[in-house]
Amino acid sequence: MLEEQEVSRKLSGCLLMIEADTRRNPDREGFRLKSAKLYTGFSTRKFVEIVRGAIYLDIGFGRYPDGRLHNHGTAWRIRKQDILELYAIMTMYLKT
């Protein structure tokens, strides 16, 4: 139960997913917005149910040029199609 409360505390807000095309040239990088989706109504119960199959823990490490290790941090990874399982509502704000 304590784990579910911690997950709920950290993830209970909303998720805004932006999709864009990227264009790069030597001086700058540009983006063309394709869509913006707001996900709300996060389900802690669903997160706990699918954490073993659809959500992955990613622990990232790297190396400095001199060989020392450094920590890029820890992240939860989830496939786009599985996001709908975690949120009750998806609102499309923009689609081009």
What does the pLDDT profile of the chain (96 residues) look like in tens digits? Answer: 556 666 666 666 788 888 999 988 888 899 999 999 888 888 887 877 777 777 777 888 888 899 888 888 888 788 877 777 888 888 888 776
The pTM score is 0.58
Does residue 63 contact residue 69 with C-beta atoms inside 8 Å? Answer: yes
Q: What is the per-residue pLDDT for 3?
A: 62
**Whole-angstrom Cα distance, residue 11 to residue 37?**
17
